[in-house]
A and B are shown apart, each in its own frame.
Chain A
Amino acid sequence: DVVMTQTPVSLSLAIGQPASISCKSSQSLLGTSGKTFLNWILQRPGQSPKRLIYQVSKLYSEVPDRFSGSGSETEFTLKISRVEAEDLGVYYCWQGTHFPYTFGAGTKLELK
């Protein structure tokens, strides 16, 4: 199985500060289609996961543009340019290139 390693485990930031989360995969996530199925989701406390980013860098329509995703092959990054209160929760990367699909352990974003 593809192992997804996220760092850091947690982040404590003040509103307005930038955030950066790393996600590394044990195998390249570039698929035979030429697409890289690396996704980011956010799980707010007590809620189900919500979509953020798909195929490395594509934001879903409702996601604020302070979020961005980058990377290729085995190394990926989620960035928030300026953290807002609604951004707190646990961020997960997950891959949909190889079966079984696998998730990172999560990065908890807390507000200072």
Chain B
Amino acid sequence: QVKLLQSGAALVKPGASVKMSCKASGYTFTDYWVSWVKQSHGKSLEWIGEIYPNSGATNFNEKFKGKATLTVDKSTSTAYMELSRLTSEDSAIYYCTRGAYWGQGTLVTVSS
């Protein structure tokens, strides 16, 4: 069955970067767009952007351009998102999703 397994929680300092992963299984990784979604504490969901693993093509929410970088490793069926120049506003749970399927989320805490 389709699974998206995300990397564990991260505690990072302000100004630093963090890279999280989303390992896909149960389907052909290169056939489907993978999106990343942010959920700040107790709040709704924000779409960050998406990547098409076959070509590396991306689409971004303008709000997250310059903040998020999306990449994939086709050899391991893994999607990555790196967030840069972190501030407290970036503290949130980040989900990868194939639309119909969601990862379990990665909690990022930005604190000195």
Contact = CB atoms under 8 A, between A and B. Distances in A.
Interface of A: 39, 41, 48-51, 54, 60, 92, 94, 96, 99-106
A50 B46 CA distance: 16
A74 B63 CA distance: 24
Interface in B60-112: 60-63, 95, 97, 99-105
B95 A51 contact: no
A102 B100 CA distance: 15
Interface of B: 35, 44-47, 49, 59-63, 95, 97, 99-105
B59 A94 contact: no
B102 A105 contact: no
Given A51-B102, A99-B59, 9 more contacts: A41-B102, A48-B103, A49-B102, A51-B101, A92-B44, A96-B99, A99-B61, A101-B35, A103-B46
Contacts of A60: 100
A36 to B, nearest CB: 15
Contacts of A96: 99
Nearest to B59: A99
B64 to A, nearest CB: 9
Contact of A103 (B47, B49, B62, B103): B47
Given A48-B95, A49-B95, A103 B100 contact: no
A94 B99 CA distance: 10
Contacts of B105: 48
Contact of B47 (A102, A105, A106): A102
20 contacts: A48-B95, A48-B102, A48-B103, A48-B104, A48-B105, A49-B95, A49-B97, A50-B102, A51-B99, A51-B100, A51-B101, A51-B102, A54-B99, A94-B45, A99-B59, A100-B62, A101-B35, A103-B45, A103-B46, A103-B47
